[in-house]
Structure 1
């Protein structure tokens, strides 16, 4: 039986060095590739890897960026 192949990148790659294309990050953050491009040009967002004209993000960098923005809610008074 042939093994199915996937053309999409999982939202949770298996290792922190796995690369995700900009479209996968845009889907993860419920935004657009254009917004990510604007943030890159403004020096914002997680580090990225440029291969020819394609942009990729390392999963570990994305997780670190997300965790850096984590805010612990204040306890109820």
Structure 2
């Protein structure tokens, strides 16, 4: 009598679900808006006014003092914003 060949049954291994990833944001989060700094404006205006006062004479000296105070106030504010 001949023996029957062994029948092998193959089973499937359990399938793992695909790993899901969170979507990558297209843009980095926005930085909070820097606020104006009264101290930076004041210090910059004083320093700029003092430097502007050293230039010229008469009406030119007055205009240089005003321009220096305005420019110094702006620069002082910008420096203070970056250092917050």
Bin the TM-score by the shorter chain: under 0.3
Comparing both structures, which one devotes a greater share of its residues to helix? 2
Comparing both structures, which one devotes a greater share of its residues to strand? 1
